[in-house]
Chain A
Amino acid sequence: MQKEKKDYIVMSIIIGVVCVILLAVMFMQFKTVEETDITAIENMREVELRTAISEWKTKYEETAEKLEANRKLIKDYQEKIEKNEETSSLIDYDLKESDMILGKTDVYGEGVVVTLEDNSECKVTYSDLIELINELRYAGAEAISINDARIINMTEISQPNGVMTINSETRVHSPYVVKAIGNQTYLSSTLNLKDSGFIDTCRARGMTIKLEQVKNVPILKYNGEMKTKYMMKGEEKE
């Protein structure tokens, strides 16, 4: 009897709890549905979807345009870069070439080696060397050095107090080994001109002079500084 009563109470409580849960959930749902108003949401959603779609479409188009523009830009930049590379490589080449011409780099090539030597009869003077350089240049020499002192465009050869100097700081002594790069035949034939040629005139004065044709004449670079102070680039200024 007691047990049955207990069971009955338990059952009542459980059913009550079930009712609480069910009703609570139902009312929550009612509230949610009421407040969100499904049909309105559906309608709104359709409209919203439409607007959203159009919005996205425009956005997509904008983005696509931007992408296209950016791609174009990238292409332009790439072209520019390529151009720059071209110009820079060209500039590089130019620089190397002018460095070579100016005498800032070691060079080698076919040419001649002229050796002048003092002897008891005749001493080599600076004017002889200048003349020789002039002759060599006339014959198309591209690079010249005297005792490994490079002759550049600003080189002077002087003999103050009997000491031969080149580029105002390099002292040179006999024997003077003059190396020149250029067409071997032209160079040697110009120097070897009969009677009026450099070698003949020197020999006539009793100088010891020797001409060699060499396949690979190495000529060292000019080590000093190249400074310009008064020279300016461009056209004349007032």
Chain B
Amino acid sequence: MYTLRVYALCIVAFMDNTQTLLGILGTGPSYGYDVKRSYDRYFGSKKPMAFGQVYATLARLLRDGLIAMLGEETGSGPDRKRYEITEVGRKRVSEWMFTPDVPEAQLQSNLFAKTVIALLLEDDAEGLLDIQRGEHMARLRELTSAKRGANVMEVLMCDHAMFHIEADLRWIDLTAARLTELRAQVTGA
């Protein structure tokens, strides 16, 4: 059985960390430390996100109005800032989740993050996988069409791209088939 940890070991290198952190904040207001802990739990089992990167990303999100600060508490420890996602931020997360990526190698890392965030937000994870499948099929049709009348070298180049897309599609189908299992693991249900 593939566990979340195994997925994460394989595919976190090409994720959009900014959108992923924003998506985590979409589950509810949180301190920076807790955002990092959630990220590490879902995506960082091999390579936890550095505190510096977390706070730099949160500062950027704050500057862009995608999150807001709920108040700064004085007291012990450096981490007394609590953040919540804004409406603009929620819209950004939704756009990110439901905008298919251009089919290319390592795509599934970002798609994996979108799927997990959608499950955390109780959004339509199956729907975003369907949208990505459609994007992949469109690219596969383009390449199939490009092969007609092409010379053998061009055909082989198309074949190479097509087999990679096919591998992505298999991953998408398997993930769709395992969504219930993944949902249970991600949400702890």
Q: Do A and B come from one complex?
A: no
Residues of A within 8 A of B (CB): none
